[in-house]
Structure 1
Amino acid sequence: MSGRRSLTWLGLTPEPERELPSTVAALRSPASDADMTAPGLAAAERRRVERLILHGTERSWLRYLAEVTDLVTAVASGARRGDRAAALLAGEVVLEHHRMLIGLPGTGYGRTAADRRALETAVSSLRRTSPARSDTTPATAEATTPDATNPAGTTTTAAEAPPETPQPPHTPGTRQGRQGGRG
């Protein structure tokens, strides 16, 4: 590579920079209640992520995500007290990010293999043992915000959400796609 830094890692999903600051702040918080997380902790985490994205490298970004992985796996294993719902969200976000590294040039995917395995175990454990969420007790505000795919703003997890599969086009002579009558 020439003297310029590679920016291909910035082309991945924006979810980590959007979801992780408040979630990681909740995991780092000494408070046992996620609602007690100081806004200052989330702001500091947001500044750290912003600094990594604007001035960091793929290696420094992956080091940060390894720290998040350590927090998630510690909460999942019970080695650290923490908000299990926040750990689950952070684990899912980082795991998805690490899975997408396969599409980028370089060694990022290979370097994150151990973290992916640890996150798969932790996420599985957190999904099994996290208390059931209801519409009145969301795990995070982001999980209940109305949007195009969730207009009512009800809480759903990736496991509960219906798969988004495209419907096959209507083929003449089949019943599929008809709204009653002949067509």
Structure 2
Amino acid sequence: MRLRPGADAWLSLTPEPERDLPVAIAALRAEGEPSPDQIAHERARAEALVLRGNRRRWVAWLREATELADSREERDPRVTAARELVLDVIDNHDALELGLPGRRPLRNGAEGETFERVRTRNEKGTAR
């Protein structure tokens, strides 16, 4: 099986998602301070996506992070910080993704509405 040229171009965009999102996702799941095991689990998921995943699964992971950020209330400053980090990383990734041939923003349709709702809520500092 041959991959299309550029099929793995998403891997070269930026290291921030696989570096920063696992801790943020773990904090959102824990609704506060994540345990070392929770962080290790999320890091393993990110590593598996980078090593054995594909763009479709990668985008699904980014969408999951956005939805998780949307579903958490801001009772803990660690949750607020995790939400901000998720939004920043995905926003940056999305902007870089537009530079790849034939790509469109990840934030379109329902996903775009969720992302913008989370961003607006985060900027205003309002809880869910």
Question: What's 2:60 paired with?
Answer: 63
State whether residues 95 and 105 of structure 2, in contact with CA within 8 Å, keep that contact through their aligned partners in structure 1.
Answer: no
Point out the structure with max Rg over C-alpha: 1
Cα distance between partner residues in 2 of 1:67 and 1:81: 21
User: Could you say which residue in structure 1 is the equivalent of 2:3?
Assistant: 4
Q: Is 1:17 aligned to residue 12 of structure 2?
A: no
The structure with higher relative contact order (CA 8 Å, sep 6+) is 2
Which ranges of structure 2 fall in alignment gaps of 5 or more residues? none
Residues 1:49 and 2:46 aligned together:
yes
Aligned with 2:89: secondary structure?
helix
- In 2, the alpha carbon distance for the partners of 1:24 and 1:123 equals 16
Equivalent residues, number? 122
Structure-to-structure mapping, 1:110-149, within 5 angstroms: 110=105, 112-114=107-109, 115-129=111-125
CA 1:71 to 1:9, structure 2 compared with 1: closer, same or farther past 3 Å?
A: same
Moved over 3 A (4+): none
* Preserved CA contact (<8 Å) 1:26 1:86: yes
Per-residue deviation at 1:73?
Answer: 1.8
Higher helix share: 2
Deviations 1:46-105 (A, max 9, x none): 010000001100011001111011111223xx4x97712211111221122122211112
Q: Percentage identity across aligned positions?
A: 35
- Counterpart-to-counterpart distance in 2, 1:100 and 1:47: 24
Letter in 2 for 1:87: R
Q: Which deviations, in whole Å up to 9, do the C-alpha atoms of 1:140-169 show, x marking residues without a partner?
A: xxxxxxxxxxxxxxxxxxxxxxxxxxxxxx
TM-score of the aligned structures, taking structure 2 as reference length: 0.81
Distance 1:56 1:103, change over 3 A: same
**Aligned-partner Cα distance in 1 for 2:23–2:16:** 12
Could you say what secondary structure the match of 1:103 adopts?
A: coil
- Provide the aligned C-alpha RMSD in A: 2.4
Letter in 2 for 1:11: S
TM-score (norm 1): 0.59
